[in-house]
Amino acid sequence: MRSLWNDLEAKQFQGDLGLRVYTSRLLGRDKSLVLHGGGNTSVKVREKNLFGEEETILYVKGSGWDLETIEPQGFSPVRLAHVLRLAELPALSDLEMVNQLVTHMLKASAPAPSIETILHGLMPQKFVDHTHADAVLSVSNTKDGEKRVREVYGKRCVVIPYLMPGFDLAQLCAKEFKRQSTPETVGMILLSHGIFSFGETAREAYERMIELVTLAEKYLDSKRAWSVAPRASRSARTQVPEQPELRRRLSDAAGAPLILRTVTNERTLGFAAHPELGRISQQGPATPDHVIRTKRTPMLGTDIARYAQAYRRYFEEHALTAKEPKTVLDPAPRVILDPAFGLAAAGRTAKDAAIVAEIYDHTIDVILRAEALGGFQALPSQDIFEVEYWDLEQAKLKKGGKPAAFAGEIALVTGAASGIGKAAVAAFLARGAAVIGIDLDAKIESLHSRPDFLGLRCDVTDEAQVRFALEQTVIAFGGLDMLVLNAGVFPASRKIADLPTDEWRHAMSVNLDANLLLMRAGHPLLKLAPRRGRVVVIGSKNVPAPGPGASAYSASKAALNQLARIAALEWGADGIRINTLHPNAVFDTGLWTEDVLAQRAKQYGMTVEAYKTNNVLRTEVTSRDVAELAAEMCGPLFSKTTGAQVPVDGGNERVI
């Protein structure tokens, strides 16, 4: 492992807190040190308060921030003196500890400080870095982990037996640090949990972390336990037809729609086919806080009922002996291993599922290295249960907060690179859905860079490309809940007498035939949608009120309208709703070049401005107006409506 410290980069950060931000980001950049939300860092700074008195402020990572992207305001400024006084108490509950820390910060708007704040405060050094480094966990999570850790670090690190993060752990670390540390001590290993490093400067603490983790890497290498890629017995393809059904059953077990991200590659296939998978995968996570994301164990195969039963047993067994009454979490697995597809990761959002997949990717490394070293050994299930069900997590549950309307659901939008389609992508993302945008235009691929969006170049008139797009949807997110049929062409104005056959056929092919392909191929997926499938067709005012010179467009949209009505009749039994919007005069779309706009205005003998607001309400209709209504039509307001046609046109006299 190499230090990523760069003098030029570092110069952009000022002061102790600035450099604390910089090296925290450096830690966050390396996923083998820190995964999403994991790890924490701090710095102790002398500051003058409002009254001119000097005091030491402990800036410690706030909850909800990732080290990789942390900003100065991501650090909670806590008065160190109070932290040290708290540490003297004989006992302190987690909830009271958080209350004490939050009420002794300098800034009311700062995030709640890390649960490991007291531990950071008790360490005498100015800068304290904490990670869950893969290599350290690989050495520690073995049968004689403590002996091996001491062998690797000698006097350089204090070694602490496992204890759940919180007040007791902070006290134990302070006591053990005093007892074990020597002038050579620069770090601390928390067995089965992670590693701390210390320094008087940001750079020193960071580079000690790198140095200490490198020692573990070298140790693993010297024991032939470093390069341990699982061998795939054969190359398999993601079992696309089966994932939507699996996702449906998972969502039913979870009581809410889940995203299912499938990762099929040599690594995941090899691990899922490991001859000792039952033993090595069913012990527990690499470090306890992963349990919040991954649950304690992956599901092997696809028998969800069996997994859920075992999960409830695990809950009941440990809840009985807990001090506080516990609320059971949903029993659906978050990690699934199957030799047919490798790994699948489930989450309430696409981001959650991506995090689960990433955590497990690292868990595979930790397990295989620990195996090569002498046998992977995770913490007993009781310890994992305590983290999964600790008071603070349970308190979060009770506070609840409503999930986004489409959390866990998947929408596919055609013609998504511009205009109404692009606005629809935004509308569905804003409501928490994972979105696949497809378009002929290559710019769709870079429309958004986020885990809940997939942009694919696709010619919707080509059946093979449509099938490919749906396959990618299933691999990335697990299924399809909502379909927005928006892609269309609007040929230049032409009288029937002058209309070339190929222009007519092209309009029919894009505006009508392509939608049949998508509806036909999408139907089996929509049928499996946990909350029932929904389709929105972007029609046109020209359906109820055609205009001269637009025969190909009007006829193709009218035929599409009829197709949608028949789909509403045929798919009602599957619970799939299909409704149509008839926009008119939406000028911020890809269809409306200035040329076309000028032509159409002339057709009606108007200026372009008058043409734009030529409706009963004298208002301009935008892509966003149409897209927002399309999203709402997939929501609960329209849950009893199918086969409807709703104008979005500012009121059109001919339609009314």
**Which CB, 28 or 194, lies closer to Zn ion?**
194
- Closer CB to Zn ion, 194 or 491, in the complex: 194
DSSP per position, 252-269: HHHTS--EEEEE-SHHHH
Shortest distance (Å) from residue 196 CB to Zn ion: 9
Residue 194 or 437 having the CB closest to Zn ion = 194
> CB of 194: closest distance to Zn ion in angstroms?
5
In whole angstroms, how close is the CB of 167 to Zn ion at the nearest point? 15
Closest approach of Zn ion to the CB of residue 165, in Å: 6
Contacts of 507 (CB under 8 A, 6+ apart): 489, 491, 552, 553, 555, 556
Please report, as residue ranges, which positions from 104 to 133 form the binding site for Zn ion (by CB under 5 A). Answer: none
- What is the spatial distance between Cα 311 and Cα 331, in angstroms, rounded to a whole number? 6
Q: How far apart are CB 38 and Zn ion at their closest, in Å?
A: 7
> Which amino acid, residue 473?
T
CB of 72 to Zn ion, least distance (A): 22
DSSP 8-class letter at 323: S
**Integer angstrom CA distances of residue 573 from 520, 528, 577:** 16, 13, 10
Beta carbon of residue 375, minimum distance to Zn ion (angstroms, whole number) = 24
CB contact at 8 A, 555 and 511: no
Nearer to Zn ion among residue 194 and residue 530 (C-beta): 194
- Stretch of 24-32, 191-199, 543-551, 556-564 contacting Zn ion, by CB under 5 A: 191-199
Q: Is 337 helix (H, G, I), strand (E, B) or coil?
A: strand
- In this structure, the number of other CB atoms found within 10 A of the CB of residue 135 comes to 27
Q: Is 455 in the site for Zn ion (CB under 5 A)?
A: no
Identify which of residues 153 and 428 has a Cβ nearer to Zn ion in the complex. 153
Q: CB 132 → Zn ion: shortest distance, Å?
A: 6
Find the radius of gyration of the CA atoms of the chain.
29
**Are the beta carbons of 284 and 193 closer than 8 angstroms?**
no
Residue 385 tokens, joined: 């249960």
Nearest position to Zn ion, beta carbon? 194
- Under the binding rule (CB under 5 A), the answer on residue 194 touching Zn ion is yes
Q: Which tokens hold the place of 81?
A: 């003196």
Residue 94 in contact with residue 102, Cβ under 8 Å?
no
Tokens (6 digits) for 623? 């892509």
Question: Shortest approach of Zn ion to residue 168 CB, angstroms?
Answer: 14
- Nearer Cβ to Zn ion (194/199): 194
Q: How far apart are the first and last CA of the chain?
A: 70
Of 194 and 479, CB closest to Zn ion:
194
Phi, psi of 484 (to 5 degrees): -115, 110
Q: Which of 504, 505, 582 is nearest to 537 (CA)?
A: 582
With contact defined as beta carbons under 8 Å apart, do 424 and 627 qualify? yes
Write phi, then psi, for 460 (nearest 5 degrees): -65, -10
For 4, the 3-state DSSP assignment is coil
Q: How many CB atoms sit inside 10 A of residue 144's CB?
A: 13
The two three-digit tokens of residue 424, written as one number: 């629809």
Binding-site residue total for Zn ion (CB under 5 A)? 1
Q: What is the amino acid identity at position 412? A: L
Kindly tell me which of 67 and 344 has the beta carbon lying closer to Zn ion.
67
- Judged by beta carbon, residue 145 or residue 194, the one nearer Zn ion is 194
Applying the rule CB under 5 A, the residues between 342 and 381 that interact with Zn ion are none
- Residue 130 CB, shortest distance to Zn ion, in Å, is 6
DSSP state of 13: S
**The tokens of 27 are what?**
């830690």
Q: By CB under 5 A, what part of segment 45-84 binds Zn ion?
A: none
Q: Which is nearer to Zn ion, 194 or 590 (CB)?
A: 194
The C-alpha atoms of residue 520 and residue 332 are separated, in whole angstroms, by 31
Q: Would you say 191 or 335 has its CB closer to Zn ion?
A: 191
Selected range binding Zn ion among 193-201, 320-328, 346-354, 497-505, rule: CB under 5 A: 193-201
- The interface mask with Zn ion, positions 151-190, x = CB under 5 A, is ----------------------------------------
- As measured in angstroms, the least distance from the Cβ of 190 to Zn ion is 7
Residues within the interface to Zn ion (CB under 5 A): 194
